[in-house]
Amino acid sequence: MTSPEERIFAGQIFDPSHPVLRDIKRKAHRLDMRYNALPENEAEQRTGILRELLGEIGEGSFIQGPVYLHYGTHTRIGKRFFGNFNLTIQDDAAVTIGDDCNFGPNVTIVTPLHPMVPQERQALYAPDGTPHCMCYAKPVIIGSGCWLGANVVVCPGVTIGDGCVIGAGSVVTRDVPPGCFAAGSPCRVIREISEADSLVHRPEILAEFSVKKPEQRDA
């Protein structure tokens, strides 16, 4: 018989109140609360909670907190990730975040979907005729080197390619190709990110810093 999680990952409808799923979520919510109660200087304890909470988290990653993960174990985060205040991930389906990503405050990632027809949201019927309140979910993938601005919402089934910038307040309802700046509600690609965006061309911002290490500069 198909397990509740197998149904989720197969893209089939599932009962979010199933005892197996409820137990996973309750554990995640307890760990959320423990993490959010700890001060930032309790780095070792906070890291330990994230490793227990998440399916995977890479070295050098930091989440400011408070954080709100629904399942936790369905989310995998790469190396050197930074998540600002109020990161929310409703990870019924799998959520994958690459290396070197930065998320601004109040970023939300959602994977579950509900039937559009009201009566179907209220109940779908098992073979024995019993009614169940069901939903389904689609995975979200965010590539490496992405920056998501404050209050970005990523919707179910979306893939954001490597090296993208998503403008603050965007609602991302469809895939974004690699190397693009995209913004808006619904989010749309504004343009490709290019060399013209380099801080090399903004010396008033760069000040005494350089985009290259001294040994990388031309002689």
The residues annotated as belonging to the active site are 114
104 Ramachandran zone, left/alpha/beta (phi>0; psi -120 to 50): beta
By the 8 A CB rule, do 123 and 111 touch? no
Would strands 124-125 and 131-132 be described as parallel, antiparallel, or unpaired?
Answer: antiparallel
**Whole-number Å distance between alpha carbons of 84 and 64:** 5
Are the C-beta atoms of residues 163 and 152 closer than 8 Å to each other? no
Note whether 164 and 176 are within 8 A (CB): yes
Nearest of 149, 191, 146 to residue 171 by alpha carbon: 149
